[in-house]
């Protein structure tokens, strides 16, 4: 697929191909006229500052001084944020543990350390933790002691229903908004991917990050979870593909166990698209048996082309549009999953319903009607 020099330079900096390849590729592109304002927009959208800074620093003499100055300044700011988030994560996890809540940190500084060996090698702006659904209320109460407040206010009856149908609380803290996400599902309920978080938590592994110990997902669970998160956003951010390409490079990934789990969850097409994108854009090398698996579970070319176009456009996908929901249906290979997706999409209340419409406790079941009405109205407006 053809794309501009600026996007090509971004890919060369993020590539996982051999060192000599990306060096030659970057050098060739830097000899061409480049729109540095567009390049800056791309790296900010795709959130790949660490990769860009690391590789373009080796070619600083070929960059405009203003561009190199911007990269240095942005990276210093990024490094400071990483240090703060790592210490804050340790504080939160320790406090939750003292209150009987087992939390697995699976993004942020922990994922950076796990994949790249360096908390500053990955860009992030919040902390994500997985907990069991039964621990949600206890965790929310404990986080209030640390100065964190959920950005949606619910009555006890509403919260009970929300835990059943929702998937996360996003918290604001003294240092800013949306700093922490507490998740008891990997995706919203309506996506109909029944990946049991309680089960995931039984298989977590330990990892040390800057003298702090955390629990996180093992490689076999991390791959489908990261693929699902990228698919939810139609893969429009290269940083997600970079993470998955790096995970693929890990020698301890048990592909047989991973692919069996993927097939059992009905996620063959989503994982196949994701691995295909890492190979296409980042030069990710896959084992021969995985390549054969990709061929047997490969998505239709029209879907792959549509997804690649979304990545190259480098803009956020409208996740409340008819086109988006149609695409989500196309990603599922089982009719049972598609049927459940449609039913849950129409009848499962979201944060928007809980926060916009206030119903008495005895009328909480009517939020299904509110959801159907608001969704129909949004889709009609979009159409």
Q: Is 218 helix (H, G, I), strand (E, B) or coil?
A: coil
At 177-205, the pLDDT tens digits run 999 999 999 998 889 998 899 999 999 99
Q: Does 246 share its domain with 204? A: no
- Last-in-domain residue among 17, 33, 63: 63
The pLDDT of residue 310 = 85
Q: Does 308 share its domain with 323? A: no
Q: Does 212 share its domain with 134? A: yes
Q: Does 139 share its domain with 263? A: no
Assigned domain for 68 exists: no
- Last-in-domain residue among 217, 241, 272: 217
Of residues 189 and 145, more confidently modeled: 145
pTM of the model: 0.92
Assigned domain for 301 exists: yes
Question: With the C-alpha atoms ordered 188, 190, 193, 198, is the resulting torsion angle positive or negative?
Answer: positive
Assigned domain for 120 exists: yes
At 328-367, the pLDDT tens digits run 999 898 999 999 999 988 888 877 777 778 778 778 788 8
Assigned domain for 74 exists: no
Q: Does 237 share its domain with 210? A: no
Q: Does 299 share its domain with 325? A: no
Assigned domain for 142 exists: yes
Q: Does 309 share its domain with 369? A: no
Assigned domain for 70 exists: no
Task: Scan for tokens 């549009």, then name that residue.
Answer: 321
Rounded Cα distance, 139 and 95, in Å: 9
Other Cβ atoms closer than 10 A to 277: 23
Rounded Cα distance, 345 and 371, in Å: 9
Domain of 25, in residue numbers: 1-63
Q: Does 87 share its domain with 206? A: yes
Percent of the chain with pLDDT strictly greater than 70: 95
Assigned domain for 212 exists: yes
Q: Does 199 share its domain with 231? A: no
Of residues 244 and 190, more confidently modeled: 244
Residue 216 has pLDDT above 90, yes or no: yes
Q: Does 312 share its domain with 323? A: no
Q: Does 372 share its domain with 305? A: no
Rounded Cα distance, 43 and 355, in Å: 34
Assigned domain for 324 exists: yes
Contacts of 7 (CB under 8 A, 6+ apart): 42, 312, 314
Whole-number average pLDDT of the chain: 89
Assess contact for 235 and 307: CB atoms under 8 A: yes
- Last-in-domain residue among 170, 197, 217: 217
How many domains are there within the chain?
A: 4
Q: Is 172 helix (H, G, I), strand (E, B) or coil?
A: strand
Q: Does 310 share its domain with 355? A: no
DSSP for 21-82, written as a single string: HHHHHHHHHHTS---HHHHHHHHHHHT-HHHHHHHHGGGGGGS-HHHHHHHHHHHHHHHHHH
Residue 265 has pLDDT above 70, yes or no: yes
């Amino acid at each position: 697929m053809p794309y501009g020099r600026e996007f090509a330079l971004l890919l060369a900096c993020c590539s996982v191909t051999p060192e000599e390849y990306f060096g030659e590729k970057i050098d060739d592109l830097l000899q061409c006229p480049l729109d540095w304002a567009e390049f800056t927009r791309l790296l900010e959208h795709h959130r790949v500052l660490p990769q860009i800074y690391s590789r373009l620093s080796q070619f600083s003499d070929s960059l405009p001084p203003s561009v190199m100055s911007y990269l240095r300044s942005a990276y210093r700011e990024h490094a400071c944020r990483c240090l703060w988030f790592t210490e804050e994560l340790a504080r939160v996890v320790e406090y939750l543990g003292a209150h009987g809540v087992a939390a697995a940190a699976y993004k942020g500084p922990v994922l950076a350390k796990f994949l790249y060996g360096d908390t500053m090698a990955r860009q992030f702006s919040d902390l994500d933790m997985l907990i069991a659904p039964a621990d949600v209320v206890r965790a929310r109460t404990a986080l209030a002691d640390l100065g964190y407040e959920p950005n949606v206010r619910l009555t006890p009856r509403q919260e009970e229903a929300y835990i059943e149908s929702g998937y996360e609380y996003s918290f604001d803290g003294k240092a800013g908004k949306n700093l922490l996400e507490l998740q008891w599902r990997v995706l919203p309920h309506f996506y109909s991917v029944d990946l049991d978080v309680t089960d995931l938590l039984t298989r977590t592994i330990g990892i040390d990050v800057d003298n702090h110990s955390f629990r996180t997902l093992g490689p076999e669970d991390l791959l489908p979870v990261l693929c699902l998160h990228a698919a939810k956003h139609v893969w429009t951010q290269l940083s997600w593909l970079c993470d998955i390409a790096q995970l693929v490079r890990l020698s301890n990934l048990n592909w047989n166990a991973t692919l069996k789990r993927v097939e059992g969850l009905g996620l063959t097409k989503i994982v196949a698209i994701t691995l295909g994108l890492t190979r296409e854009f980042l030069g990710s090398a896959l084992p021969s048996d995985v390549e054969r698996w990709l061929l047997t579970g490969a998505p239709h070319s029209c879907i792959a082309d549509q997804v690649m176009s979304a990545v190259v456009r480098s803009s956020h996908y409208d996740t409340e549009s008819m086109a988006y929901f149609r695409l989500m249906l196309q990603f599922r290979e089982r009719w049972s999953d598609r049927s459940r997706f449609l039913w849950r999409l129409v009848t499962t209340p979201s944060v928007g319903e809980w926060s916009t419409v206030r119903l008495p406790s005895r009328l909480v079941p009517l939020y299904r009607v509110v959801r159907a009405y608001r969704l129909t109205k949004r889709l009609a407006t979009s159409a």
